[in-house]
């Protein structure tokens, strides 16, 4: 349970690897300072800030953001350091407020490396202050505690640093502001829905909300030769500097995180939020321009003297010109932001590892079966109509917290008129299953299939030919019942073992690998009992490593009525063709989802699956 702190209250820290997540209504600078036994800063090199984001054991966000992060490893903090202060400051020269009292009260949450929240603090009561010490982490009796501080400084960051004894505090503060000014403010909220957004809220069968999920700092992601593990970004270190007056050049891995895998994950979701907020601002500005023009025209029409004649025409022309000017300025700002995002995408996309990359990425040419599972998986791309060519990878955390529903009732211009949408949906399912197999270590992930009528044989050919399925597809009512019974038993046994703390007592024949069940042509071959088992697997399976991938048209199961509504709601609905059924929980855009496409004739899927199969067989030789 999260401890909600008030100013001055402290709380023990049971973990040494921490993440501090800040939520603010406006962009803020994340800074951290060290203090000795008297609370004084040991020197100018005891401040972490966007221009120099790392201290021993501490890393802060590299730019101003409404949701900056602090990554902290208390075991790596030098012994002479007695406390670590978490500092927030308003950036100068970005058009935002110059005092915290003009914005919503910021809040900070201290969480463990696995995302579990430990303590939270809302910084209320701020007014003229433009810099504030939010929290202090301090040593006590061989351990660490966190204290809610909330001490603000109307004199800004310079006054705050001077109060801590930082030499040349004003100059240091000016340098920090200058470093932040070289990076455009980015609102990166990496922990999912913001305050007030119901976690996992979704519209059944129509719109699903997408969010990145909690960062999992304890994960040791899989890497490929293209993305070696690192505590700092190699791409960042080798990036060529920008010329005078030029915006900073984008680099891959320009985000917080313990590994390159996590940095890229956070950067992709930062790009997603940048696009969401830039388009939201543009739509708001154009809506305001339209509303103002309508109001001015209504006033003209309300006055009979302005309805006709040269004066009326001139007034209408002025109203339209004012509208066009506002809309044009908004579009100019949007195009500038989208150009920057497009440039960043061009740098980030080639650096993505197989779990995040498109099927046409060069990383698949040098693919090697990983030794460890990644932290996330790419399900496709997301785009908005303001810039259709700008596509942001849609990443979901692993292990999957929700099953997937590939809607086989969807068809569209991306599918040839003679194509079968059910076949397109199953091809999409095979693509997702192949990626899941490819990004897990040998034997750590298995795939099983329910195909009651045997109608998916052609689509399943890449999986069956490579020999990566855990067994032949289950056919007929008997095959469906037997496979569901086996998976239900697995879920029951693992749940009991986990709850009883007796994982070593599991039967030796139980496969500990993550399980993916692909269900084709639902509800054909299912009866009331097997439908109940399927719902049970969808609800309880993900927590113990059994995941569901439904390839189905909801209309085919309409005979069950509302009984199946919970099943559809529990799954993330994606489509085999581009569709705008996904919404984000921040600003509510309808995003166009584009499924992953394997380049025709490339043979990449067969080549990757053969490598997976070879590695799976190797231990048994």
Q: What is the pLDDT of residues 377-392, one digit of tens each?
A: 999 999 999 999 999 9
Mean pLDDT, residues 470-490 = 95
Quote the pLDDT of residue 305.
Answer: 63
DSSP run (H or E) holding 445: strand 445-450
Which residue(s) pair with 396 in the sheet? 377
- Determine the 3-state secondary structure of 95 from DSSP: coil
Quote the pLDDT of residue 468.
Answer: 95
pLDDT band at 253 (very low <50, low <70, confident <90, very high): confident
Quote the pLDDT of residue 63.
Answer: 73
Residue 18 DSSP one-character state: E
Q: pLDDT tens digits, residue range 201-212?
A: 333 333 555 544
Higher pLDDT: 292 or 446? It is 446
Mean pLDDT, residues 88-98 = 80
Task: Give the whole-angstrom CA distance, residue 601 versus residue 282.
Answer: 41
pLDDT band at 103 (very low <50, low <70, confident <90, very high): confident
Peptide bond into 51 cis (omega under 30): no
Quote the pLDDT of residue 38.
Answer: 85
Mean pLDDT of the chain: 83
pTM: 0.64
- Determine the 3-state secondary structure of 397 from DSSP: strand
pLDDT band at 135 (very low <50, low <70, confident <90, very high): very high
pLDDT band at 514 (very low <50, low <70, confident <90, very high): very high
- Is residue 29 within 8 A of residue 77, CB to CB? The reply is no
Q: Among 84-88, 189-193, 357-361, 563-567, name the one with the lowest average pLDDT.
A: 189-193
- Is residue 406 within 8 A of residue 554, CB to CB? The reply is no
pLDDT band at 102 (very low <50, low <70, confident <90, very high): confident
- Is residue 354 within 8 A of residue 437, CB to CB? The reply is no
Quote the pLDDT of residue 484.
Answer: 96
Which residue(s) pair with 407 in the sheet? 552
Mean pLDDT, residues 343-367 = 95
Quote the pLDDT of residue 104.
Answer: 82
- Is residue 258 within 8 A of residue 231, CB to CB? The reply is yes
Rg of the chain (C-alpha set): 27
Q: Kind of pairing, strands 546-552 and 514-522?
A: parallel
Which residue(s) pair with 580 in the sheet? none
pLDDT band at 292 (very low <50, low <70, confident <90, very high): confident
Quote the pLDDT of residue 220.
Answer: 27
pLDDT band at 238 (very low <50, low <70, confident <90, very high): very low
Say whether pLDDT at 149 is over 70: yes
pLDDT band at 181 (very low <50, low <70, confident <90, very high): low
Q: pLDDT tens digits, residue range 35-78?
A: 988 888 877 678 988 888 889 999 888 777 777 889 999 999 99
Quote the pLDDT of residue 211.
Answer: 47
Longest CA–CA separation in the chain, Å? 94
Q: Among 377-391, 476-490, 501-515, name the one with the lowest average pLDDT.
A: 501-515
337-to-62, 183, 278, 328, 493 alpha-carbon distances in Å: 18, 12, 7, 14, 52
Quote the pLDDT of residue 534.
Answer: 95
């Amino acid at each position: 349970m999260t401890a909600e702190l008030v100013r001055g209250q402290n709380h023990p820290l049971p973990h040494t690897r921490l993440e501090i997540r800040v939520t603010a209504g406006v962009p803020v600078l994340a800074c951290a300072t060290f203090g000795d036994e008297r609370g004084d800063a040991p020197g100018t090199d005891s401040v972490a800030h966007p221009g120099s984001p790392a201290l021993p054991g501490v890393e802060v966000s590299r730019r101003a953001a409404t949701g900056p992060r602090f990554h902290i490893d208390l075991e790596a903090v030098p012994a002479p350091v007695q406390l670590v202060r978490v500092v927030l400051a308003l950036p100068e020269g970005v058009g935002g407020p110059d005092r915290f009292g003009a914005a919503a009260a910021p809040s900070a949450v201290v969480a463990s490396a696995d995302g579990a929240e430990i303590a939270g603090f809302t910084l209320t009561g701020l007014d003229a202050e433009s810099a504030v010490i939010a929290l202090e982490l301090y040593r006590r009796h061989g351990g660490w505690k966190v204290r809610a501080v909330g001490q603000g400084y109307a004199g800004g960051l310079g006054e705050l640093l001077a109060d801590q004894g930082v030499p040349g505090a004003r100059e240091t503060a000016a340098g920090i502001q200058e470093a932040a000014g070289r990076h455009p403010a980015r609102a990166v909220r990496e922990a999912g829905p913001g305050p007030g957004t119901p976690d996992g809220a979704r519209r059944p069968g129509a719109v699903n909300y997408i969010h990145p999920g909690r960062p999992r700092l304890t994960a040791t992601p899989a890497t490929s030769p293209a993305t070696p593990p690192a505590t700092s970004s190699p791409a960042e270190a080798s990036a060529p500097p920008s010329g005078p007056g030029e915006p900073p050049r984008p680099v891959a891995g320009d985000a917080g995180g313990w590994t390159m895998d996590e940095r890229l994950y956070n950067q992709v979701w930062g790009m997603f939020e940048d696009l969401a907020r830039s388009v939201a601002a543009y739509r708001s500005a154009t809506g305001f321009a339209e509303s103002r023009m309508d109001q001015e025209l209504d006033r003209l029409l309300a006055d009979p003297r302005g309805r006709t004649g040269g004066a009326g025409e001139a007034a209408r022309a002025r109203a339209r010109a004012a509208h066009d000017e506002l809309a044009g300025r908004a579009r100019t700002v949007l195009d500038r932001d989208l150009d920057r995002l497009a440039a960043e995408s061009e740098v980030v996309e080639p650096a993505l590892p197989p779990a995040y990359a498109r099927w046409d990425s060069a990383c698949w040419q040098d693919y090697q079966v990983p030794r460890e599972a990644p932290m996330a998986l790419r399900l496709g791309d997301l785009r908005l109509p303001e810039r259709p060519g700008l596509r942001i990878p849609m990443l979901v955390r692993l292990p999957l917290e929700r099953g997937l529903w590939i809607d086989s009732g969807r068809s569209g211009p991306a599918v040839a008129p003679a194509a079968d949408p059910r076949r397109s949906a199953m091809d999409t399912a095979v693509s997702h299953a192949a990626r899941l197999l490819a990004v897990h270590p040998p034997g750590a992930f298995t795939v099983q299939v329910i195909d009651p009528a045997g109608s998916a044989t052609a689509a399943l050919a890449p999986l069956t030919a490579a020999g990566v399925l855990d067994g032949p597809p289950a056919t007929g009512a008997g095959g469906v019942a037997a496979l569901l019974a086996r998976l239900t038993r697995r879920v029951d046994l693992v749940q009991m073992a986990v709850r009883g703390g007796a994982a070593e007592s599991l039967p030796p024949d139980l496969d500990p690998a993550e399980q993916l069940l692909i269900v084709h042509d639902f509800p054909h071959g299912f009866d009331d009992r097997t439908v109940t088992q399927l719902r049970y697997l969808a609800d309880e399976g993900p927590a113990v490593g059994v995941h569901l991938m439904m390839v189905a048209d909801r209309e085919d199961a309409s005979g069950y009525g509302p009984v199946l509504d919970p099943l559809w709601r529990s799954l993330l609905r994606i489509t085999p063709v581009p569709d705008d059924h996904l919404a984000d929980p921040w600003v509510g855009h309808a995003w166009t989802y584009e499924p992953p496409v394997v380049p025709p004739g490339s043979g990449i899927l067969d080549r990757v699956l053969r490598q997976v199969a070879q590695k799976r067989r190797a231990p048994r030789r």
